[in-house]
């Protein structure tokens, strides 16, 4: 797979597969309920999309398989850490929280999920890489490739709109948490807002840009000011491995 469209398709597939994985993980292991995960509204997680492209590129390197697994594990953990840190420092938003996990660093990464990244990388490398590559090569080289290209373009167009929509919401949240000098756990905030509206209706769109975001954030901070759901920024730099 050497075409640019092929890599875009791989990113799309990874984003969607990651979203499905996170939805079921939250339903059966962590939150024990259906939650639309991540920063964006649609059924995609770009972090996984970028991750699967990187996994594929690492798989092309002519080195021992166990070295590939180590590189994959370290790389994916680093991506997770940098992504989490950027959102915390830049927007005052914590997309996920491992604070209750042993050995966590700033609640962003922890040994358990580092191992999980390694397992996911190994499964992709030995079970999924070749079938996905064959599938994409078939689509790209088929007579219907122009339809596939059009679909990819539409998908990325929707993704860009989703990103802009979510950034708009994040900026409104940031304007409130910046004053209070706190970091808000994004999924708990989405759940808080969603509980005030019809749950089924808002699984995919738990937060709307048209809503009074600042008011909801203020209510959320007030209702949870004495709980562990809120993490003061001043304490973030003090968090170390437990």
- What is the pLDDT, as a whole number, of residue 181? 72
pLDDT at residue 237 greater than cutoff 90 = no
**Residue 82 pLDDT grade (very low, low, confident, very high; cuts 50, 70, 90):** very high
User: How far apart, in whole angstroms, are the C-alpha atoms of residue 84 and residue 201?
Assistant: 28
Predicted structure pTM score: 0.79
Q: How does pLDDT run across 221-233, given as a tens digit for each residue? A: 565 554 434 454 4
Average pLDDT over residues 10-14: 94
3-state SS track over the chain: CCCHHHHHHHHHHHHHHHHHHHHHHHHHCCCCCCCCCCCCCCCCCHHHHHHHHHHHHHHCCCCCHHHHHHHHHHHHHHHHHHHHHHHHHHHCEECCCCCCCCCCECCCECHHHHHHHHHHHHHHHHHHHHHHHHHHHHHHHCCCHHHHHHHHHHHHHHHHHHHHHHHHHHHHHHHHHHHHCEEEEHHHHHHHHHCCCCCHHHCCCCCCCCCCHHHHHHHHHHHHCCCCCEEEHHHHCCCCCC
Domain boundary assignment for the chain: 4-236
Mean pLDDT throughout 3-15? 91
Q: What are the residues whose beta carbons fall under 8 Å from the beta carbon of 24, sequence distance 6 or more? A: none
pLDDT of residue 111: 97
Token pair, residue 188, equals 């708990």
Measure Cα distances from 5 to 21, 161, 216 in Å.
24, 20, 41
Q: What is the pLDDT of residue 169?
A: 86
Residue 202 has pLDDT above 60, yes or no: no
Q: How confident is the model at residue 197 (pLDDT cuts 50, 70, 90)?
A: low
The burial of 107, by beta-carbon neighbours within 10 Å (0-12 exposed, 13-18 middle, 19 or more buried), is given as buried
Mean pLDDT for all residues in the chain: 82
pLDDT bracket for residue 163 (50, 70, 90): very high
Give the residue-averaged pLDDT of 27-47. 89
Poorest-pLDDT segment among 36-40, 71-75, 136-140:
136-140
Contact 169/38 with Cβ under 8 angstroms? no
Cβ atoms of residues 113 and 80 within 8 Å: yes
Answer whether 109's CB lies under 8 Å from 84's CB: yes
Percent of the chain with pLDDT over 90: 44
Report residue 23's pLDDT band, with 50, 70 and 90 as the boundaries: very high
13/179 Cα distance (integer angstroms): 39
Question: Where do we find the tokens 């030995």?
Answer: 126
pLDDT number for residue 199 = 47
pLDDT of residue 234: 46
Place of tokens 């972090």: 47
**pLDDT tens by residue, 142-154:** 777 888 889 999 9
pLDDT given for residue 230 in this prediction: 46
What percent of the chain lies above the pLDDT cut of 70?
A: 78
* pLDDT of 164: 95
The pLDDT assigned to 33 comes to 83
Count of beta carbons in the 10 Å neighbourhood of residue 33: 10
pLDDT-based confidence at residue 200 (cuts at 50, 70, 90): very low
């Amino acid at each position: 797979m050497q075409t640019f469209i092929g890599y875009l398709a791989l990113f799309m597939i990874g984003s969607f597969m990651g979203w499905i994985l996170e939805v079921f993980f939250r339903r059966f292991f962590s939150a024990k309920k259906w939650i639309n995960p991540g920063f964006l509204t649609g059924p995609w997680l770009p972090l996984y999309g970028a991750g699967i492209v990187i996994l594929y590129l690492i798989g092309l390197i002519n080195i021992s398989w166990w070295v590939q697994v180590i590189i994959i594990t370290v790389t994916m953990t680093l991506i997770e850490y940098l992504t989490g840190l950027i959102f915390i420092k830049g927007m005052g938003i914590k997309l996920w929280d491992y604070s209750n996990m042993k050995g966590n660093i700033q609640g962003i990464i922890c040994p358990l999920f580092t191992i999980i990244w390694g397992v996911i990388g190994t499964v992709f490398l030995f079970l999924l890489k070749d079938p996905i590559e064959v599938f994409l090569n078939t689509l790209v080289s088929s007579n219907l490739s122009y339809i596939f290209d059009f679909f990819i373009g539409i998908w990325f167009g929707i993704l860009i709109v989703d990103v802009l929509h979510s950034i708009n919401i994040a900026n409104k949240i940031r304007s409130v948490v910046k004053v209070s000098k706190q970091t808000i756990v994004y999924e708990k905030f989405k759940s808080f807002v969603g509980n005030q509206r019809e749950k089924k209706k808002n699984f995919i769109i738990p937060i709307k840009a048209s809503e009074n975001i600042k008011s909801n954030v203020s209510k959320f901070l007030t209702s949870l000011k004495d709980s562990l759901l809120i993490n003061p920024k001043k304490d973030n730099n003090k968090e170390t491995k437990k």
